[in-house]
Structures are given as structure tokens and as C-alpha cells.
Structure 1
Amino acid sequence: MDERSPLFAITVAAELAGMHPQTLRQYDRLGIVSPTRTPGKSRRYSMHDIVKLREVARLSGEGLNLEGIRRIIDLEDLVTALQARVRDLEATLADELLTRPGRRVFAAGQDGDVVTLRAGTRTPRNTQLVVWNPLRRR
């Protein structure tokens, strides 16, 4: 069991968050805090949802409207997801460096794409000369 396990019915969640159950229903309709649903379509809230509800109450108490709160919650969720993705990529990179050191080198190609190189090689240099004359008309 973790913080995202859906455990609490709406009445218990409302009590833990210090809100009325109808407020939780409204937040669910607006997409601010959306709990999981049972096969019978009843709402089940996790501890993570309860923390979000308390954050919504705090932001509301500071004078933010519900749309502003929804945007803040969405951005916080996005940051959390991106941080988890960065941690995964860092772990993958660390594993790759430990298991196969010096195997691959990556560089930026001329078009901005990623180019894979063998260790010890360089990307070919572009030696073209481009002349620009602002007074020249076509």
C-alpha cells in the first residue's frame, strides 16, 4: 500500500480534508482533484488526493479562483512527472556508463538531430562559406 492507493470513500476523504463532500464532487467535476472510481462508480480517494485537497483549500484561502488552482495543480503534477522521468533517465545513463563505458558518444548534427558516434571519432565539419549581402536585390 502506498500514498496513491484508493482507500477512502468521499465522506471520509471530505472529513480528512476538512471539506464538505459536495465540494469534493465539484472539484472532481472541474478536474481539480479526480479520485479513482470503483466498478460501481463510487469515488475512492488516496492520501495523495487528500494532500491535494488540502493544498486546494490553502490556495483558495489565499484568494485564487478554481481555474487558477486547477492550473497550479496541473503544473505541479507535470513537474512531478518530469522529475520522475529525469531520475529514470539519469539511472539509465548511469547504468549504461557502468556497463559499457566509452561505447557511445552522442553529438548534435547539422540539422539539430542527435548523431551517434563511435568513441574517439568526431562529427564532420561543415566548411561551407555563406555570404550575405543585405543590399543585393533579387
Structure 2
Amino acid sequence: MNRLTDDKTPVYVISVAAELAGMHAQTLRQYDRLGLVTPSRTGGGGRRYSASDVAMLRRVQEMSQDGVSLEGIQRVLELENQVAALRSRIAELTEQVSRLEQQSGARVFAASPDGQIVALRPGERPERRVGSSLVVWRPRVR
């Protein structure tokens, strides 16, 4: 991707970012202090905003205008980050299950106490220990 078209590249000084977002530069400083939108910093400490930072500033402004407090906005953003991380983890686990399925030809999987995914053949039961629990997952045929 071209560096100039990358929306993550910090290119805007605070005054330009404030104008693009339609707000005062002091508001951007406040959002930075609160951790709502954290721009990159230059070697001298100056803030540099990317296109995605400006989009996030607009989003924060919209939520604020809708009556959501800054603490509420911060919580919404944290939860969205958690959801994104969980979705990424689900994708990793789904890929791992697919790999195991291809390797073993098994259609049933169980999670061992140490968190490893164990492939089982249909009808096969995993080794059980007293006091341990077992989760069995069968993928649906699509």
C-alpha cells in the first residue's frame, strides 16, 4: 500500500486534524489526555494524526453529541477493542480446528485441561481425570 494513501500514516498536525474533524484543537488535546484518540508523536513531542485518527475523532464527537459521556465513550471504545480481539482469537481457533481436522480426519474435538485442542475420532472418548471437566465441540457441516 502506498504510504501516502495509508489511513494509518500520521500526517496531520493538530490544527489540521481539528479542522478536518470539525472541532477545536483543545478538544483534541483533551481526547488525547483521556486516551480516547491517541495520535502519534514526533521526535519533538508534536502530535500527528492519521486519517483513521480523524475518523475516530468524528465518531467520538458524534457519540458525544448523542449524549454519551466521555467516560461512556471510553468504555464503548474499550469494549469494541475487546470484541475485535475476541473475533481475531475466534478466527485463530477456527483455523487451528480446520488444520487439526485436515490432519486427523476427525470430526470431533475436545479441549484438554491445559487448553490444547485434542482431535478425537467419532465415538472415541478422551481420557478423563477425576474432577476435570471436558468440553466437546462438533463442527456443523456447511
State TM-score, norm by structure 2: 0.70
**Aligned residue number for residue 50 of structure 2:** 46
The 8 Å contact of residues 6 and 46 in structure 1, kept in 2 or not, is answered as yes
What are the ranges of 5 or more consecutive residues in structure 1 without an aligned counterpart?
128-138
**Aligned residue number for residue 135 of structure 1:** none
Q: d(CA) in 2 for partners of 1:115 and 1:66?
A: 41
Counterpart among 9, 12, 22 of residue 13 in structure 2: 9
State the 1:103 CA deviation.
Answer: 7.1
| 2:123 maps to 1:123 | no
State the 1:5 CA deviation.
Answer: 2.0
1:123–1:55 CA distance, 2 compared to 1 (3 A): same
Counterpart among 62, 73, 76 of residue 66 in structure 2: 62
What are the ranges of 5 or more consecutive residues in structure 2 without an aligned counterpart?
131-142
Q: d(CA) in 2 for partners of 1:101 and 1:61?
A: 55
State TM-score, norm by structure 1: 0.71
Between 51-60 and 112-121, report the one with greater CA deviation: 112-121
**Aligned residue number for residue 75 of structure 2:** 71
The CA RMSD measured in Å over matched residues stands at: 3.0
Counterpart among 14, 22, 27 of residue 26 in structure 2: 22
Identity of aligned residues (%): 47
Question: Which of structures 1 and 2 has the bigger CA Rg?
Answer: 1
The 8 Å contact of residues 102 and 119 in structure 1, kept in 2 or not, is answered as no
**Aligned residue number for residue 107 of structure 1:** 110
Between 75-84 and 85-94, report the one with greater CA deviation: 85-94
1:85–1:63 CA distance, 2 compared to 1 (3 A): same
1:107–1:20 CA distance, 2 compared to 1 (3 A): same
Q: Which amino acid aligns with 1:42?
A: G
